């Protein structure tokens, strides 16, 4: 593969705050797998270590590396009320000596008091983050502009802010964490005798895009199926394709290694929308806990497993070897406990 060495060298050029507990394990899920008629494995990215872990640790290693490069002393980040990203940013910031301002967006309709105070919000407070609120959850550009205004006022007050940019038009530094994760998982996949498919959540798409690009740059052709958690399949496919192009561009490698038809997503488990629990999601969370002793979360991985179960029941995965990518998020369970 002509890109092989080149992209790894390119990856090394980016600063990285290497504080995640990596590599994470790959484990078998024999009980649930048997019930579903497939060989099921899990990549435990819920075990990335810091601040209850999850996929954001891999992404934030790169954002915090960039923040350290500019000697930032305060991080700013925007997200949903029960965002795992903001909680993880605050935790990693604490570890690296940076304070954190969090803007919480009203992304989920009709939420309870519990949702506003428990789960990730409780952890944000324990971490000493300053919380701000933003009234609209589907206005990425507006939320980014608002957080930049807070950054400006901190700068005026003599602080050195670093805004962790998450909008669709921002530099996809976080996806680099998943290009690296692809390098990490390949020998693990080989050690379990190969898999036919990887199933992963697809939200901002940095995880999905980074992983898919990383596998293809390494010359691996394992199919990656994204399960939509925020937008329908049509919009999400465009988002993933765009983020792959942006990530390839950032790395200075050829994004054509991923063909557009190689981007596969399903919105069968999306339900009414982001952060809204469905009966299928609840059932998937309970079933995974009761067969494997493994906790999923209500916003992302519960929906991914619900989607995987639907595919298995439709015989689309029959007898196959499937790697379920656990991206973490379990603290949100406590913000949704009134729905179980």
In whole angstroms, what separates CA 57 from the centre of its chain?
A: 9
325 forms part of the interface with ligand PLP (CB under 6 A): no
203 forms part of the interface with ligand PLP (CB under 6 A): yes
270 forms part of the interface with ligand PLP (CB under 6 A): no
Please, which residues have CB within 8 angstroms of residue 52's CB and are 6 or more apart in sequence?
Answer: 87, 88, 91, 123, 328, 330, 331
Contact residue for ligand PLP among 7, 41, 63, 85 (CB under 6 A) = 85
Token representation of residue 143:
């939320």
Please confirm, yes or no, whether 83 is among the known catalytic residues: yes
Q: Which stretch binds ligand PLP (CB under 6 A): 5-13, 125-133, 201-209, 268-276?
A: 201-209
- Cα 201 from Cα 324, distance rounded (Å): 9
Q: Which stretch binds ligand PLP (CB under 6 A): 30-38, 196-204, 271-279, 315-323?
A: 196-204
- Cα 64 from Cα 62, distance rounded (Å): 5
Token representation of residue 135:
């009234």
Contact residue for ligand PLP among 82, 202, 222, 276 (CB under 6 A) = 202
52 forms part of the interface with ligand PLP (CB under 6 A): no
* Residues 77 and 112: beta-carbon distance below 8 Å: no
Cβ proximity to ligand PLP: between 59 and 222 the closer is 59
My answer on whether omega of the bond before 122 falls inside 30° of 0, hence cis, is: no
Of 15, 39, 83, 133, which residue is the catalytic one? 83
CB of 144 to ligand PLP, least distance (A): 15
Q: Which stretch binds ligand PLP (CB under 6 A): 143-151, 198-206, 273-281, 286-294?
A: 198-206
* Residues 43 and 209: beta-carbon distance below 8 Å: no
CB of 173 to ligand PLP, least distance (A): 12
Please, which residues have CB within 8 angstroms of residue 227's CB and are 6 or more apart in sequence?
Answer: 199, 200, 201, 202, 265, 266, 267, 268, 269, 303, 304, 307, 308
103 forms part of the interface with ligand PLP (CB under 6 A): no
201 forms part of the interface with ligand PLP (CB under 6 A): yes
Q: Which stretch binds ligand PLP (CB under 6 A): 9-17, 48-56, 116-124, 179-187?
A: 48-56
206 forms part of the interface with ligand PLP (CB under 6 A): yes
Stretch 280-309: interaction string toward ligand PLP, x if CB under 6 A: -----------------x--xx--------
In a 13 Å sphere around the CA of 42, the CA atoms on its Cβ side amount to 24
Strands 224-228, 130-134: pairing kind: unpaired
328 forms part of the interface with ligand PLP (CB under 6 A): yes
CB of 14 to ligand PLP, least distance (A): 17
CA-to-CA separations, 247 to 5, 77, 315, in angstroms, rounded = 17, 20, 34
Please, which residues have CB within 8 angstroms of residue 149's CB and are 6 or more apart in sequence?
Answer: none
CB of 202 to ligand PLP, least distance (A): 5
* Residues 114 and 335: beta-carbon distance below 8 Å: yes
Cβ proximity to ligand PLP: between 23 and 54 the closer is 54
Residues in the interface with ligand PLP (CB under 6 A) total 19
335 forms part of the interface with ligand PLP (CB under 6 A): no
Name the site residues for ligand PLP (rule: CB under 6 A): 54-56, 84-85, 201-208, 297, 300-301, 327-329
Residues with catalytic roles = 83
């Amino acid at each position: 593969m002509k890109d092989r060495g080149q992209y790894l060298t390119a990856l090394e050029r980016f600063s990285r705050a290497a504080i995640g507990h990596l590599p994470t394990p790959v484990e078998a899920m024999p009980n649930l797998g048997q019930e579903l008629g497939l060989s099921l494995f899990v990549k435990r990215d819920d075990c990335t270590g810091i601040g209850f872990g999850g996929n954001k640790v891999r992404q934030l290693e790169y954002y915090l590396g960039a923040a350290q490069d500019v000697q930032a002393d305060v991080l700013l980040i925007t997200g949903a009320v029960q965002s795992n990203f903001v909680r993880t940013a605050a935790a990693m910031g604490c570890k690296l000596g940076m304070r954190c301002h969090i803007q919480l967006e009203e992304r989920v309709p009709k939420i309870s008091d519990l949702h506003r105070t428990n789960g990730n919000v409780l952890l944000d407070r324990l971490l000493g983050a300053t919380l701000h609120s933003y009234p609209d959850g589907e206005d990425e550009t507006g939320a980014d502009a608002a957080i930049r205004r807070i950054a400006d006022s901190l700068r005026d007050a003599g602080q050195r802010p670093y805004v962790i940019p998450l909008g669709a038009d921002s530099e996809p530094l976080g996806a680099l964490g998943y290009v690296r994760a692809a390098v990490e998982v390949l020998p693990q996949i080989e050690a379990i005798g190969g898999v036919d498919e990887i199933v992963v959540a697809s939200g901002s798409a940095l995880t999905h895009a980074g992983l898919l690009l990383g596998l293809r740059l390494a010359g691996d052709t394992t199919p990656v199926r994204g399960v939509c958690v925020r937008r329908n399949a049509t919009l999400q496919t465009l988002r993933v394709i765009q983020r792959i192009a942006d990530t390839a561009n950032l790395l200075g490698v050829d994004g054509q290694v991923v063909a557009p038809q190689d981007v596969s997503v399903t919105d069968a488990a999306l339900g009414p929308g982001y952060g809204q629990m469905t009966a299928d999601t609840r059932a998937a969370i309970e079933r995974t806990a009761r067969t494997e002793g493994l906790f999923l979360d209500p916003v992302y991985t519960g929906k991914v497993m619900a989607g995987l179960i639907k595919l298995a029941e439709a015989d689309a995965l029959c007898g196959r070897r499937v790697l379920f990518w656990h991206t973490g998020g379990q603290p949100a369970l406590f913000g949704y406990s009134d729905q179980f």
